[in-house]
A = this chain, B = another copy of it.
Amino acid sequence: MSIPLLQVALDNTSLEDAIASIEQYGHLIDIVEVGTILHVAEGLHATKTLRAMYPDKILLDDIKGADAGKTLAELCFGAGADIMTAICAADINTMIAMKKVGEKMTPVRDVQIELYGDWTYEQAASWLAAGIDQLVYHRSRDAELAGKTWDTPDFEKIGKLCEMGFKVTITGGLNKEDLHLFKDYPIHCVIGGRSIRNAANPAAEAQAFQTEIRRIWGAK
């Protein structure tokens, strides 16, 4: 299996905080994410600033777009994002509209679907048919706060989505101690958020994630 990428979600409530955080470990990670919270707080100013800070990193804008795909894609890709997210509840035409904007750009930009709530494998097949092959399997932060842990149905769904041909990103309060739970799956990307941002030493924690990812997936 290939080695999963490491992404950090900047879910800070201000750009100032996000910058102070990412400066500590940005060089150690693969994907810089403008988290939904940061984007809600600061808009495209956050996207543009992080693009300027990290011209060579993959920049993901987690806006969870639900409609008006063309306009949102023009905004997010135009501000420098390589990848933007759509919510799974969006109409397929919204996702396709985003994808089309990205395909016309150089380099090509891409769309990733955020799985929340109810979705079906039939929908997932329609995303693949439209050329959208990246998705995020999510344990909701609020479901997590309400006590939901990673369990068998999660792993079954992740396995099936990988088999279908999706590049699957996993997220939702992940600690490095959780990563081994996913060892049997060809995970495309792991998102660390609070566990890295709020660590006593965020750089050491980011490095520890990378080491653990290589320990688990590197030997295969």
Give A77 Cβ to nearest chain B Cβ, in Å: 12
Q: In the assembly, what is the distance between CA of A34 and CA of B146, in Å?
A: 30
Q: A42 to chain B: which residues have CB within 8 Å?
A: 43-44
With a CB–CB cut-off of 8 A, which chain B residues contact A67? 36, 116, 138, 140-142
- Smallest CB gap from A79: residue in B: B41
A192 at the interface (CB under 8 A from B): no
Q: How large is the interface on A (under 10, 10 to 19, 20 to 34, 35 or more residues)?
A: 35 or more
C-alpha gap A117/B88 in the complex (Å):
8
CB distance from A71 to the nearest CB of B (A): 5
Assess the A87–B68 pair: CB atoms within 8 A.
no
Which of B36, B69, B71 contacts A68 (CB under 8 A)?
A: B36
Q: Determine which residue in A40, A123, A141 has the highest number of CB atoms from chain B within 10 A of its CB, and name it.
A: A40
Q: Is the CB of B66 within 8 A of A40?
A: no
Query: A181: shortest Cβ distance to chain B, in Å?
Result: 21
* A216 at the B interface (CB under 8 A): no
- Is residue A13 contacting chain B, with contact meaning CB distance below 8 A? yes
In the complex formed, the residue of B with least CB distance to A47 is B40
The winner among A39, A42, A145 for most chain B CB atoms within 10 A is: A145
A63 within 8 A of B: yes
Within 8 A of B (CB), among A74-127: 74-76, 87-91, 93-94, 96-97, 114, 116-120, 123
